[in-house]
Amino acid sequence: MTVQSRTSAFTPSRRTFLTGIAAAAALPLAASAQPLLSNEAKAAAAFHPDAPPYSPPGGVFIGSNENPLGPSAAARAVLADNVPRGGRYDRGGEKKLAAMFADQNGLKPENIGIYAGSFIGLYYAGRTFSSPTRSIVSPVPTFDAMFYGPDKKPVAPFHAVPLTPEYKIDIKAMVAADPQAGVIYICNPNNPTGTSLSRDEIRWVLKNKPAGSIVIVDEAYIHYSEAETALPLVAAGEDIIVSRTFSKIYGLAGLRCGLIAGRPDLLAKVRPYQTNPMPTPAISAALASLGEETLIPERKKYAVGVRQGVFDWLDANKYHYIPSGGNFFMVKVDRPGAEVTAALAARNIHIGGSRPMMTDWVRVSVGTKEEMDQFQTAFAAVMAVPSTGQPVKGSGRDTDGVSQVHGVYDGEWSC
């Protein structure tokens, strides 16, 4: 098993400027939407900023693992009420959110740190617990953009560990990669493969990891899967930080709210990086979302149903894919993934593209039933055309690259 390594002399700044963005009014959902969506007051099926190449009129945007349902009805109501308060900091909101999440998950408020998206929490934690002498160990492919600096190089010595033949994270190889590791990163379910580790497997990593290292578990997609959360390991006082986001199942990607959970002493080491209050709209929407008891099961049922419908179609048409536990999946195209990405973009279907070590695959996010129907039609047409066999440049999110170790990324900087 080959493990790739890179180093960088990049020194992170401790000052970060955060911005808060107020949400625009919701757009009406297509009349053909599923009945479940009526509970969301017919929220926008897909909204994208007017910034090419992501916003051609009428496009299907299934490349960034966004939730096409957007904020919940309760969150949207709170957001509207928050406009008059937009000139004030919500100094107590972060404590309320931390306390509410902790209470729902068997933790204490001091176990929770609130950040402007889980990317920021992961970004800070990665820098806190790595150094020129303490490396970062990460699977490949995975979502690891937060471990790179402005120079697009790793912020510390970096070990990229290939997945197993079953596309799972290879925990034994991860633990063995470097006896001086500072961070062992696990995305669970893994982005882009959607495969998961059990809590016992993560517990094994904690037991066998290098002394002094911290295990970071990114649970951005946990709600779409049957995977066990690692939060009980936080409650048990392990050397672990668990990341959560409000961008996925809760549909708040554009509002930027996330958190990390860990022992108070670990969070205290990360906290100096945080310099500004959280955006008031993000905190309010997150609180409202946590308060909706049926939100997660309803949205999971809808997303999993749409996902399974696509899997059934892929099976019927004999396409090879990885059964995913996320709101995305990888499908094998047996040609350069960038070629398929570009051909779909020409049909106004915008997907996530290929990944390192999986260059003849593409990753597709799960949108609405109607969006996935459009994807299926376009995908079948693209795959019916013989491949040119040539790499394609400039194919949107397939070539936004940041990683010097892993190759290319699709712009998913925001967990």
Strand 358-365 with 328-332, pairing:
antiparallel
**Which range scores top for mean pLDDT: 79-83, 135-139, 384-388?**
135-139
Distance CA 29, CA 239 (A): 44
CB 255 within 8 A of CB 114: no
For each of the domains in the chain, give its residue range(s) and CATH number, in order of start.
80-290 (3.40.640.10)
Q: Is 7 or 278 the better-scoring residue by pLDDT?
A: 278
How far apart, in whole angstroms, are the C-alpha atoms of residue 210 and residue 226?
A: 29
Would you say 168 and 186 are in contact if contact means Cβ atoms under 8 Å apart?
no
Q: What does the block give as tokens for 326? A: 């996320």
The pLDDT of residue 374: 97
Contact yes or no for 114/257 (Cβ under 8 A): yes
- Rounded to whole angstroms, the Cα distance separating 136 from 278 reads 28
Rounded Cα gap, residues 27 and 331, in angstroms: 31
Per-residue model confidence as pLDDT tens digits over 304-328: 999 999 999 999 999 999 999 999 9
End-to-end CA distance of the chain: 29
Q: What's the whole-number average pLDDT of the chain? A: 84
pLDDT in tens, 111-143: 999 999 999 999 999 999 999 999 999 999 999
Q: Report whether 112 contacts 261 (CB < 8 A).
A: yes
How much of the chain exceeds pLDDT 90, in percent? 72
Separation in Å, CA 52 to CA 44, 56, 158, 352, 415: 20, 7, 33, 15, 21
Q: Give me the percent of the chain exceeding a pLDDT of 70.
A: 80
Q: Which DSSP symbol is given to 165?
A: T
Residue with tokens 């493969």: 193
Q: The whole model's pTM is what?
A: 0.83
| C-alpha dist (Å) from residue 63 to 60, 89, 354, 406 | 9, 33, 11, 18
For 25-65, the pLDDT digits (tens) are: 333 333 323 333 333 323 333 333 333 444 567 899 999 99
What whole-number distance in Å separates Cα of residue 82 and Cα of residue 182? Answer: 41
